[in-house]
């Protein structure tokens, strides 16, 4: 709502905003299938199921990659794009298993790890690296 309400307040028709939100939700559903293979030239511009599978992998070469919701162009521009490699099959899951089935513990486990890393940092630069750097 924090993104969509300002659009309506800026004068966009609420039906247009809701229609685009509905389209985006359907597109996100499409991205999470394994039944769709490569989509040819669309792979250069759009985030496709192949790209999004990489986003969910826990292999070290695929961590922090393919953030685009609809477009993959910005990942390509800013160096966060990774193509699926036939040499390294995808492994799904968490890098550090949580060890709990409690949804609250699962949702906040990475925040706990981040704050622990920030408290353990020996300098401001190390804290910035822990907060904004690549996973160790």
pLDDT confidence of residue 94: 84
Percent of the chain with pLDDT over 70: 99
Q: Which residue has the tokens 């792979």?
A: 43
Q: Is the pLDDT of residue 134 over 90?
A: no
pLDDT of 135 over the 80 cut: no
Give the residue among 30, 16, 96, 104 at the shortest CA–CA distance from 63: 96
- Residue-level pLDDT at 125: 95
User: What pTM was computed for the model?
Assistant: 0.77
Q: Are 105 and 98 in contact (CB under 8 A)?
A: yes
Residue with token string 């939700």: 25
Token digits of residue 121: 């940092």
The full set of domain ranges for the chain reads: 1-31, 36-92, 94-136
pLDDT of residue 136: 64
CA-based radius of gyration for the chain: 18
Instruction: Please check the confidence at residue 91 and state whether its pLDDT lies above 90.
Output: yes
Choice among 10-14, 42-46, 84-88 with the minimum mean pLDDT: 84-88
- Mean pLDDT, the chain, integer: 93
pLDDT tier at 81, thresholds 50, 70, 90: very high
What pLDDT, on the 0 to 100 scale, is given for residue 1? 80
């Amino acid at each position: 709502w924090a993104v969509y309400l300002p659009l309506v307040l800026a004068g966009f028709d609420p039906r247009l905003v809701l229609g685009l939100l509905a389209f985006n939700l359907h597109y996100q559903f499409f991205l999470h299938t394994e039944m769709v293979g490569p989509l040819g030239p669309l792979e250069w511009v759009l985030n496709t199921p192949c790209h999004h599978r990489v986003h969910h992998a826990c292999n070290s070469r695929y961590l922090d990659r393919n953030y685009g919701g609809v477009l993959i162009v910005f990942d390509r521009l800013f160096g966060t794009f990774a193509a699926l490699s036939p040499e390294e099959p995808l492994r799904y899951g968490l890098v550090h298993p949580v060890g709990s089935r409690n949804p609250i513990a699962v949702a906040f486990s990475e925040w706990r790890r981040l704050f622990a890393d920030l408290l353990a940092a020996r300098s401001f630069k190390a804290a910035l690296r822990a907060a904004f750097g690549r996973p160790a």
